[in-house]
Amino acid sequence: MEWETVIGLEVHVSLSTKSKLFSGSSTEFGAQPNTQASIFDCALPGTLPVFNEEALRMAVRFGVAIGAEIGKRSVFDRKNYFYPDLPKGYQVTQLDFPTVGKGALTVTLADGSEKIIGVTRAHIEENAGKSLHEEFSGMSGIDLNRAGEPLLEIVSEPEITCAEEAVAYLKKLHTIIRYLDISDAIMAQGSMRCDVNVSIRPKGATELGTRAEIKNINSFRFVEKAIHSEVARQQEILEDGGRIIQETRRYNADKDETSSMRSKEVANDYRYFPEPDLLPVVIDDEYIAAVTAQLPELPDARKARFIEDYSLSNYDAGVLVSSRELAEYYEIVATASGDSKLAANWVSQDLLGLLNKHNWEIADSPIQAVRLATLIARIKDNTISGKIAKTVFESMISDESDVDAIIESKGLKQVTDSGEIEKLVLEVIEKNPAQVQQYKDGKEQVIGFLVGQCMQLSKGKANPAQVNELLREKMQ
Amino acid sequence: MALDKTEVEKIAHLARLHISESETHEVTTRITDILALIDQMQSVDTNAVEPLAHPLDLVQRLRADKITEEDQRDKLQQLAPASEDGLYLVPKVLD
Amino acid sequence: MINSTVAEISAALAAGDISSVEITQAYLDRIATLNGELNAFITVCEDSALLAAKAADEARANGLDSPLLGIPLAHKDIFCTKDILTTCGSRMLHNFVSPYNATVVERFNDAGTVLLGKTNMDEFAMGSSNETSFFGDVKNPWNTECVPGGSSGGSAAAVAADLCAMATGTDTGGSIRQPAAFCGVTGMKPSYGRVSRWGMIAFASSLDQAGPLAKSAEDAALMLNVMSGLDKKDSTSIDRPIEDFTASLNQPLKGIRIGIPKQHFAEGLSREVEQAVRDALTEYEKLGAIIKEVDLTNSHLSVSAYYVVAPAEASANLSRFDGVRYGYRCEDPVNLEDMYKRTRSEGFGEEVKRRIMIGTYALSAGFYDAYYRKAQKIRRLIKDDFDRAFTEVDVIIGPTSPHTAFKLGSKSDPVSMYLEDIYTIAVNLAGLPAASIPVGIANGLPMGMQIIGKYFDEAKILNVAHQFQQHTDWHKQKSTAITAASGES
């Protein structure tokens, strides 16, 4: 039987406010345990929440960025369950009236096609603290620094049909969030987390199959692998005549498989009800307009502009706008070097290759945009060849001196002196009589070999165009 | 609405309360009596009525995103039944 | 002097006839004599009270004067008081020394009052008789075999027995007004949002409101002046211009329209209480008031709706008591679940557990619409009834409680206890202000009359109460039982 997969994603993003969602405690990463846990965060009796305006603004900013309906009246609810890292015994979240309603993202797939994936909603809620399982005489330690930090939970429509689409959706979400500057969205640090709902059904069926929820996946690659392994598991069960149980599972990367999480509650019953300590959050058109006016240029718009202004291919533009920092870097290189296409090649291939190899961010790059622009300018003005430029680029990684100084000190400057080039050409003609004869007999392509010999002799420094021209002249 | 023992046990578990075997009967009876009192409101048709969560029709005030709290860990942890190295201690959390 | 009103003590302090240290010591002595019998206080702050009194006297010597400077008061033990035990009447918090002050406490401190101690109460304010306290029953000063009412029973008894000049209370379904009626004092529940709930341990967040228990309407007004006002730490606190609630106390009542809800004079009301309230209405007519019947059609549903809303909110509000960060934790838990269950079962009393169970049930899957949502709709109907009535009248008057204080231990089944609050609960559901003032004595026990006002019309209620107290002296009546017990003449 042929199967089709239905995937829905729930993504939790830590909003990068300075203080917590409902208290004035710092949200700074990495503080000593419980030093950022106020009397409210510790749920002391009598304490009350007051809503952080910046968390609201960030959520609305996300909403307008994905063209979503904005909840003009959002309501907080209590979600009740007991857990030591949940001090109040309930999490404040938004159930029926979230701040962000229906919206959509456009993702580009590997084959260049585009797909629109719906976002059902995005709601604001509190994070929980952390349970530490190291030994404390057989007990667990609770750190409440993270408790009460603001989260935006973004829920997709079940419109994703494969792992590739899921990853494309996540990456797009990540890009937009970073452009909006509302979260670090670093999966490895937990500031972006993903729960994946997976179900399969016979191809063409209209009803959804029973889903399994894979919790807390912390990298794009694991999302992809977890989906593959979960789909395979479900397929095997169904083909053996079995039944899928609706449950929560976790992905084990070492074994590359998902496994059932022992259910903490006999049956979860969260007993949601409107949070009486908070009133409805009401925003008007003016507020939404002000947030919209402050939106930065978003990836889709920037991509279109890059194609238009810099004559880039759809693919190159897509790569360059995939992160805000990369796009900004590229624009500096393109403008300062005066050659946007050459700049695109260097940024998307050489620079990204370098960063990926060392697992560096743009900010960590030893080669700043202006230096790379100078290097490209030197190719354009024939100071160096494209090939020599690669050598210079390598040197620039460890050598902070300016590009011209590196070219000078290593003697890499292109030879354009016609006397010197003539000497090279004559030497090569003399050493390769057979090839010269072939050329003279009309075997035009031999010229490539001869140019190569000249370049080798000059250690790459000769201007290849000049060499080519002179060779033809001398062999006539 | 009358409750049975299983339901009472389920609710007690949700509320993390322990009800001993000997108490179950009385707890069940008492709660059933109270539910009968509560069920008097079922006699009124409220289909067209908008629920009222708060007596006053007001909207949420917003707080500026400022850090106003200082570290009070040592003071707060004096209140804790068990703590060590700045952490609150609980019986092992299994997940 | 200890049986004087705040207004009188304040005048004596200003005139230099007495010092705050002297009056504070007098109350401390009285507490030492009577608290053993009445059990009105859980904690007495003798040393800090005398220090505060001394500071108040010094401030006055330096030229400071404010109406409550140096006045000794008691706080219900539901208000967090910095560095002072704050128990909420529960074993769960038997060892909880609050690291912070409630806003109400802070405001009284700023006004220069002297904190004598923390008063006993029904556990987590759940009760109408003060019999659910972990720290024992409070006795009614008028008859120590009777309950003082609840949940602010300790505060009402303390004011009635002159253990303090004034006291704070909280009212979720009648917890200020009913004990005020049972103990013969003046108590007021302000409009929801008038007084900050920061630092007031939550029972039912959408119903809870703090208010004064005092010896007169004028004293209640003086207290409310200090207690009320915007607090940005409480999202439900109302931003309104500051009012002086004493300003309109002396307004004549001529032409005022008083509504009488027929539902509050129906079956179940004792003859003595009905007579006392009707006599009071006659008094108001003499003062020029117009009496008019009003219809609170859905008031009979208030108890039903309340016993969904309040327990539902309470079930969540009390989840934080889990033995992790403060308060009681059971001995040697074998695992996490055992810690939760034993801590909560041993730390909470029967009534609290019962209400947590009811609330948990009402919110659980499949019952939300039939219970919680339904109750919120009834709540709307009840509010609409009041809104309609208040288009025709200025205040609504009726009995506070169907009868006088009952005997300790006489109401063992929860439902009959819940029905005690039949006249007071609707006011909380609607969020309105209401007071209870003494209107008579029957069989040696005081009776109370409830005055309900429009939103934020506390000044009118206090005006109506004060005018009555200017023409009658029920609020000045004292229990002879206690006076005899303390050996005073």
Give the pLDDT band (50/70/90) at residue A265: very low
Q: Is a pLDDT exceeding 70 seen at residue C394?
A: yes
Q: Under an 8 A CB cutoff, do C344 and B18 touch? A: yes
Domain residues for A443? 418-474
Residues of B whose CB is below 8 A from C334: 91
Q: Under an 8 A CB cutoff, do B65 and A282 touch? A: no
Q: Which of A25, A39, A44 to mutate to test the interface with C (most CBs of C within 10 A)?
A: A44
Nearest residue on chain C to B35, judged by CA atoms? C358
Whole-number Å distance between alpha carbons of A433 and A54: 77
- In chain B, % helix, strand, coil (3-state, to 5) comes to 40, 10, 50
Q: Under an 8 A CB cutoff, do A276 and B54 touch? A: yes
Q: Is a pLDDT exceeding 60 seen at residue C488?
A: no
What are phi and psi for residue C275, nearest 5 degrees? Answer: -60, -45
Q: Under an 8 A CB cutoff, do B34 and C232 touch? A: no
Instruction: Please state, rounded to an integer, the average pLDDT across all residues of chain B.
Output: 92
Whole-number Å distance between alpha carbons of B91 and C336: 5
Q: How many residues does chain A have?
A: 476
Q: How many residues does chain B have?
A: 95
Burial category of A218 from C-beta neighbours within 10 Å (exposed 0-12, middle 13-18, buried 19 and up): middle
Q: Give the position of tokens 């404010």.
A: C66
Do A443 and A401 lie in one domain? The reply is: no
Q: Is a pLDDT exceeding 80 seen at residue C483?
A: no
Instruction: Determine how β-strand A139-143 pairs with β-strand A130-136.
Output: antiparallel
Q: Under an 8 A CB cutoff, do A140 and B58 touch? A: no
Q: In Å, how far is A129's CA from the nearest CA of chain C?
A: 13
| C315 contact A CB<8A | yes
Q: Is a pLDDT exceeding 50 seen at residue C111?
A: yes
Confirm or reject CATH 3.90.350 for domain B5-40, answering yes or no. no
- The predicted pLDDT at position A264 comes to 47
- The predicted pLDDT at position B95 comes to 58
Q: Give the position of tokens 């500057």.
A: A181
- Sheet containing strand B87-91, edge to edge, reads A130-136, A139-143, B87-91, B83-84
What are phi and psi for residue A356, nearest 5 degrees? Answer: -60, -40
Residues of A whose CB is below 8 A from C79: 46
The count of domains in chain A is 3
Give the pLDDT band (50/70/90) at residue B55: confident
Whole-number Å distance between alpha carbons of A217 and A188: 10
Higher pLDDT, A266 or C1: C1
Q: Lowest-pLDDT range, A29-43, A273-287, B15-29?
A: B15-29
Q: Is a pLDDT exceeding 90 seen at residue C243?
A: yes
Residue that finishes a domain, picked among A361, A386, A409: A409
Q: In Å, how far is B47's CA from the nearest CA of chain A?
A: 19
Q: Under an 8 A CB cutoff, do A36 and B71 touch? A: yes
The structural domains of chain B, with segments of one domain joined by +, span: 5-40
- The predicted pLDDT at position A181 comes to 96
SS3 C339: helix
pLDDT tens digits along A413-443: 777 777 888 888 888 888 888 888 888 888 8
- The predicted pLDDT at position C485 comes to 52
Whole-number Å distance between alpha carbons of C256 and A77: 43
Q: Which of B17, B70, B93 to mutate to test the interface with C (most CBs of C within 10 A)?
A: B17
Tokens of A375: 């290097």
Tokens of A436: 């010269």
Instruction: Please state, rounded to an integer, the average pLDDT across all residues of chain C.
Output: 96
Output the pTM of the full model.
0.92
Do A187 and A223 lie in one domain? The reply is: yes
Q: Which of C235, C304, C431 has the CB atom closest to B41's CB atom? A: C304
Inter-helix orientation angle C350-363/C302-317, to 10°: 100
- Shortest CA distance to A55 belongs to which of A92, A30, A88? A92
> Would you say C116 and C31 are in contact if contact means Cβ atoms under 8 Å apart?
yes
- Shortest CA distance to C446 belongs to which of C185, C268, C144, C128? C185
- The predicted pLDDT at position C379 comes to 97
Whole-number Å distance between alpha carbons of A215 and A196: 7
Instruction: Determine how β-strand A77-80 pairs with β-strand A90-93.
Output: antiparallel
Do A115 and A181 lie in one domain? The reply is: yes
Which of the other chains make 3 or more beta carbon contacts under 8 angstroms with chain A?
B, C
> Would you say A158 and A305 are in contact if contact means Cβ atoms under 8 Å apart?
no
> Would you say C220 and C437 are in contact if contact means Cβ atoms under 8 Å apart?
no
Q: Under an 8 A CB cutoff, do C319 and A39 touch? A: no
What are phi and psi for residue C76, nearest 5 degrees? Answer: -60, 145
Which long-range CB contacts under 8 A does A94-98 form with residues at least 24 apart?
A94/A123, A94/A124, A94/A125, A95/A123, A95/A272, A97/A71, A97/A73, A97/A280, A98/A71, A98/A74, A98/A122, A98/A123, A98/A124
Residues of B whose CB is below 8 A from C91: none
Q: Under an 8 A CB cutoff, do B18 and C236 touch? A: no
> Would you say C44 and C116 are in contact if contact means Cβ atoms under 8 Å apart?
yes
Q: What is the dihedral of CA B27, B33, B38, B44, to 10 degrees?
A: 150
pLDDT tens digits along A314-354: 999 999 999 999 999 999 999 999 899 999 999 999 999 99
- CATH fold of C6-258+391-485: Amidase signature (AS) enzymes (3.90.1300)
- The predicted pLDDT at position C345 comes to 97
- The predicted pLDDT at position B1 comes to 59
Do A359 and A403 lie in one domain? The reply is: yes
Q: Is the dihedral of CA C264, C307, C205, C183 positive or negative?
A: positive
Q: Lowest-pLDDT range, A135-144, C196-205, C377-386?
A: A135-144
Residues of A whose CB is below 8 A from B75: none
Mean per-residue pLDDT, C256-272: 95
Task: Work out the angle at residue A192's Cα, subtended by the Cα atoms of residues A122 and A296, and round it to the nearest 5 degrees.
Answer: 65
**Residues linked to residue C187 through DSSP beta bridges, in sequence order:** C213, C436
Do A221 and A114 lie in one domain? The reply is: yes
Residues of A whose CB is below 8 A from B66: 18-19, 24
Whole-number Å distance between alpha carbons of C320 and A88: 4
Interface of B with C in 66-95 (CB under 8 A): 72, 75-76, 79-82, 88, 90-94
Mean per-residue pLDDT, C390-413: 96
Q: Is a pLDDT exceeding 90 seen at residue A465?
A: no
Do A231 and A313 lie in one domain? The reply is: no
Q: Which of A25, A34, A287 to mutate to test the interface with B (most CBs of B within 10 A)?
A: A34
Residue that finishes a domain, picked among A241, A267, A290: A290
Query: Which residues of C does the annotation mark as catalytic?
Result: 76, 151, 175
Instruction: Please state, rounded to an integer, the average pLDDT across all residues of chain A.
Output: 92
pLDDT tens digits along A175-184: 999 999 999 9
| B48 contact C CB<8A | no
Q: Is a pLDDT exceeding 90 seen at residue C194?
A: yes
Mean per-residue pLDDT, C86-111: 98
- Within 13 A of A207's CA, how many CA atoms are on the CB side? 2
Q: Under an 8 A CB cutoff, do C363 and A46 touch? A: no
The structural domains of chain C, with segments of one domain joined by +, span: 6-258+391-485
Do A49 and A149 lie in one domain? The reply is: yes
pLDDT tens digits along A62-73: 999 999 999 999
Provide ipTM, 2 decimals: 0.96
Q: Under an 8 A CB cutoff, do B81 and C358 touch? A: no
Do A350 and A246 lie in one domain? The reply is: no
Q: In Å, how far is B94's CA from the nearest CA of chain A?
A: 9
| A69 contact C CB<8A | no
Residues of B whose CB is below 8 A from C126: none
- The predicted pLDDT at position C487 comes to 47
Q: Is a pLDDT exceeding 90 seen at residue C376?
A: yes
The alpha carbon of residue A23 and the mean position of all alpha carbons in its chain are separated, in whole angstroms, by 31
Residues of C whose CB is below 8 A from A48: 197-198, 233-235
Do A115 and A176 lie in one domain? The reply is: yes
Mean per-residue pLDDT, A8-20: 97
Whole-number Å distance between alpha carbons of A73 and A78: 17
- Give Cα separations from C313 to A111, A173, C419 (angstroms): 54, 37, 20
Q: How many residues does chain C have?
A: 489
